[in-house]
Amino acid sequence: ISYIIITRLIRKKVYSLKRYKEKSALSQLYRNIISNK
Concatenating the DSSP letter of every residue in 1-37 gives: --HHHHHHHHHHHHHHHHHHHHHHHHHHHHHHHHHH-
Q: Where are the domains of the chain?
A: 1-37
Q: Which pairs count as long-range contacts for 3-12, CB under 8 Å and 24+ apart, including other chains?
A: none
pLDDT of residue 9: 96
Work out the percent of the chain whose per-residue pLDDT is above 70.
97
Residue 4 pLDDT greater than 90, yes or no? yes
Task: Please calculate the CA angle 4-8-11 and round it to the nearest 5 degrees.
Answer: 140
5-31: average pLDDT: 95
**Does 37 score more than 80 pLDDT?**
no
Give residue 29's identity as a one-letter amino acid code.
L
Triad 33, 22, 6: Cα angle to 5°: 170
